[in-house]
Amino acid sequence: MAKRNKVDEYADRVKETLADAWLPEIYRQRVLAKRSRAYNFEGLTANAPEIQHTLLGVELKVGRRRMLCPDLATARYLAIFARVGCDSVAVPYDITKVSQLADELESSWHRAFLLADHYTAAESENFKSRLRRKLSANIKTEINEAGAGTAVPEFKQNTRQNLER
């Protein structure tokens, strides 16, 4: 059995501490479990996303690319996944849930890195940087493996009422 890297051990410790508050876990349980639609970032690399308010509405700027968003909550939600560098993600179809999910996902993102800094207080800056990159890569991998769901949400076509009594 191969010896585990110290960075991997710390990354696993952060994930175990967060448990259900781990960003990919929130994504699987709260987004993919409900009706959602897929959103592709189409070749974007992990970057510092910016939310911009323009005359046309809210835009999410990632690198040189600008994406029009229907509202601020959706822009915040997508910014989290753009920061991670995901290829595609599921966006909840129920727009009333997007703001709360964006809050939870942002909180999870920041808590993961705060825990990493706490656990590695005695380590070098180089080691801390490697751990942050490892956490970010783990989050991206788990979200990409979970997938983005369907491009169009499912609608139940059966509207026929049960006439038997």
- pLDDT tens digits, residue range 104-119? 999 999 999 999 999 9
24 CB burial (10 A radius; 0-12, 13-18, 19+): buried
Q: Are 61 and 50 in contact (CB under 8 A)?
A: yes
Give the angle 89-24-15 at the CA atoms, nearest 5°: 160
**Mean pLDDT along residues 140-153:** 81
Please report where in the chains the tokens 């560098």 appear, as a residue.
Answer: 85
Q: How many angstroms separate the CA atoms of 91 and 38, rounded?
A: 6
pLDDT score for 1: 45
pLDDT score for 25: 95
pLDDT score for 15: 95
Q: Are 105 and 80 in contact (CB under 8 A)?
A: yes
For 123, phi then psi, to 5°, come to -90, 170
Q: Read off the pLDDT band of 10 (50, 70, 90).
A: very high
Q: How many angstroms separate the CA atoms of 123 and 109, rounded?
A: 21
